[in-house]
Structure 1
Amino acid sequence: MKTLIFLAKGFETMEFSVFVDVMGWARNDYGYDVSVVTCGFQKQVISTFNIPVMVDKTINEINVDEYDALAIPGGFEEFGFYEEAYNERFLNLIREFNSKGKIIATICVGALPVGKSGILKNRKATTYHLRDAYRQKQLKEFDVNVVNEPIVVDKNIITSYCPETASGVAFRLLEMLTSEEQMKIVKAAMGF
């Protein structure tokens, strides 16, 4: 089972690293067949707070058929997150993952490009809920049924509130890729 983690410019490192760590523990300590591949528009992506990360592949190298899931960490507008998150090439990648019934897991405002892609129309989802819930209002503008809960799963799509929910999303993704029992083993081993 292979997960593509898409890093838009200005992504949050905490929301990115949780997917690497949870899948890494599952693979390394328990031999589960779960791996991650990082992706961005360029080989080096600058995160929120200016941490540079080298990705495995650029968006042009991605064949959706090679992956079982897409993970999208959120990011900060002032670090340019939406410049790439709302790019039509990325929105098309999201649409292709969804059209093939693959899992899409988002943290915080990672739900907004999924909403903008149109695949959440008339579906349940959530996103960042603090500061007057302005990000939830933005998500609602994409005809999404916004649910004010920490983690919302609608069929193949996982969305969540904020950085606090990051580990919960990663464990939910692991469960969907493996099983509830296997996820609980890894979760306990990581001290959750």
Structure 2
Amino acid sequence: MNGWNKVQAEFGLVPHHQPANTVGKNASDIALVIDAMDLMHSGRFDAFVLVSSDSDFTRLASRIREQGLEVFGIGAQKTPDAFRKACKRFIFLENLEGADDNGKPANKAEVVVPANDPKEARDLILKAMDSIDQEDEWYALGPLGQFITAANPDFDARSYGKKKLSDLVADLKIFETKRGPGNQMLVRRID
């Protein structure tokens, strides 16, 4: 816990410690769930952020969403699919800048290798195009991105080695891009 003291002070965090009553039990997880339910029922919040890679929080995320609130998840690539999909949006720790796996500042010179094959992203974009009902062959990138993340809460262009969806689309050779009204990015399939 000593490593957290500086972080607590820097960000004004209030620590809560839940000692285990029995070895091997997850008293901290249960305490977090109780606190989250209390906060949910207070009616003061519109959204929750769950930072965990533990599938035990899947039901909590689902329950909060059943209440009509948004849930954003943050966790490692190893996070089970069920928990990722229970969130409105899920962000992989590996895609966040500023820290390595040990919480130490990342070396800026390090090159991040994309975790996913860009062909997977291509398929998601094509599926979004097929699902959006429109006559025009040019699609606004914003609604495409919204459709993709609604269907795949863990979608993130950084998982494919790109900073933004527009960079990812531009790199996939089966799409053409241009600027439309209001400088919005438009994309169409060219094959």
Normalising by structure 1, we get a TM-score of 0.31
Larger radius of gyration: 2
Q: Flag the structure with higher strand content.
A: 1
By relative contact order (CA 8 Å, sep 6+), the higher-ranking structure is 1
Normalising by structure 2, we get a TM-score of 0.31
